[in-house]
Structures are given as C-alpha cells and as structure tokens.
Amino acid sequence: MSNLYELTNNWNTVANMLYDEDVDEKMVLDTLESIEGDIEDKADGYAKIIKELEAKAKARKEEAKRLSDSSKTFENKVKFLKKNLFNTMKETGKTKFTTDLFSFNIAKNGGLQKITIDGEVPEEYTKITIEPDMDKIRERLKILGDLPFAHLEPRGESLRIR
C-alpha cells in the first residue's frame, strides 16, 4: 500500500502527463493502472484530474472568447477605416494613386455577380428539396416501434461526476 505522499505524487504525475502534448494516451493509462488503491480511491483521483482539466478548458474557452471579441473590434475598425477611405477616394475622383509606402486603387470585385430577384421566379428556375421530417418520424417510432425505413438507436451512456 502506498503512503499519502506517494499517492499525491502519482496523481500529480498523471496530471502533468495530461498537460504534455507529447505523451500519448496509452502511457497515461499505463501510469493510471500502476497506481495502487481501491476503485473508489482511483475514481476520486480521476475525478480530481477531470475537474481540474474541465476548469482549465473553461478558462481557455473564456479567454478565446475574449480574444475573439477583441479581434472583432479590430476588424470592425478596419472596415470603418476602409469604408471611409473608399468614400473619400470616390468623392475626390482619385481612385488610383501611389505613395511612398502603399498603392491605392478602387477596382471591381471578382467572383460571381450578386443576383437580386425582382419578382415571381418561374418554376424552371427553382429547386425542390425534400427532407425527412425527423420530429414526425420520431413521434411515430415511439408509438409504433420500428418503421420499414427507420428505427431508434439505443441511448448512449455517459459518466457524470458531481
């Protein structure tokens, strides 16, 4: 039986392995199996690591959102400045010029031209898409069981730690 110091050290080793992107899952699993203890003790160790990783993942997502929002702010400022420069160039009639640092010109956009529909579109220019009504199929499956063209898959299972 391991003492408290060894158990703490073992779980810290596993946590550090999970942070190292070069360590593969098999090595982590082998290390987890080598830790002595009852299933309840191991489950507590797993749960501690899981909770710590969940907290770090949440913090990273929040930081990513903050950085994404900041990036959108900069993108909006770029759009504003470009629009203002574009309008000024159009108003002054200077649609093409070069400075010591940059070249500026207003050109037609490439790609497919935008289409605006002005009225009723004849049937020959329309697409008909048929999609299954999943809610209706699910309702019938619950009442009748399997249908000739569909069935309900078994529900999956997941681990919940509280």
Question: What's the rounded Cα separation, in Å, for the pair 15 and 32?
Answer: 10
Q: What is the dihedral of CA 39, 40, 41, 45, to 10 degrees?
A: 90
Helix, strand, coil percent values for the chain (each to nearest 5):
60, 5, 35
Domain boundaries along the sequence of the chain: 38-105
Q: What secondary structure does DSSP assign to 106-135, as a single string?
A: -----SSPP----SPPPGGG--------HH
Cα 104 vs. chain centroid, distance in angstroms?
37
Query: Given this model, what pLDDT does residue 8 score?
Result: 59
Query: Given this model, what pLDDT does residue 1 score?
Result: 44
Mean pLDDT, the chain, as a whole number? Answer: 85
What does the pLDDT average to over 97-122? 92
4 pLDDT band, cuts 50/70/90, is very low
Q: Is the pLDDT of residue 74 over 90?
A: yes
Question: What's the rounded Cα separation, in Å, for the pair 11 and 51?
Answer: 13
Closest C-alpha among 144, 134, 160 to residue 46:
160
What does the pLDDT average to over 38-67? 86
52 pLDDT band, cuts 50/70/90, is confident
